[in-house]
Chains A and B, each alone.
Chain A
Amino acid sequence: AQSVSQHNHHVILSEAASLELGCNYSYGGTVNLFWYVQYPGQHLQLLLKYFSGDPLVKGIKGFEAEFIKSKFSFNLRKPSVQWSDTAEYFCAVTSFSGGYNKLIFGAGTRLAVHP
């Protein structure tokens, strides 16, 4: 079965530090990849997505992610984090099952940014 692994469960950074959150998936076929963010007390919002084309994807709020097919990875990066980036970050992959795609989420990474 398709699975998604996020290696860092809890990350603590100071403002202006660089961020990289790891995401690996298990499916060997064609995938669609997503990063969602959940700010405290809020719903999930899409940060960025990869369907095809340029493997370096730019998202909102200065985030980017790189799809490396050979490594089954889709790591999220931001060169300089802000206090307002404090949130839970979820990597997700579509899995084709029973004729339909479904979204499989990783366990999430909690990011805390200190001023």
Chain B
Amino acid sequence: DTAVSQTPKYLVTQMGNDKSIKCEQNLGHDTMYWYKQDSKKFLKIMFSYNNKELIINETVPNRFSPKSPDKAHLNLHINSLELGDSAVYFCASSQDPVSQQFFGPGTRLTVL
């Protein structure tokens, strides 16, 4: 059984489009995260939600809007995509904000 899943795995789109990436965890965790891994493999946290409430927002452009419909899901919507948004986006979850995080398989976004 997949613990943290993301869809789609690959996403290729044109500049200016709006796209969403979905994340689901079946671990019963309260906390979920979005990370961005750039072309140099550098990983940086973008957002974190705890019990559906935003607790971390790392000065990400407001074109990025996370949404948590319930504790098991954290989706990432990106408006007006730019070339610099090309990256691998990883979702993660943890039991609470201080516990070990479990990562999803990643979504490779390519903006043309």
Contact = CB atoms under 8 A, between A and B. Distances in A.
Interface of A: 32, 34, 36, 38, 42-46, 49, 88, 90, 94, 97-105, 107-108, 110
B15 to A, nearest CB: 26
B62 interface: no
Contacts, number: 51
Nearest to A100: B97
Interface residues of B, number: 23
Nearest to A92: B43
Q: Is the interface of A mostly helix, strand, loop or mixed?
A: strand
A93 to B, nearest CB: 12
Nearest to A34: B100
A101 B40 contact: no
B35 to A, nearest CB: 8
A110 B103 CA distance: 19
A108 B41 contact: yes
B66 interface: no
B50 A103 contact: no
A107 B55 contact: no
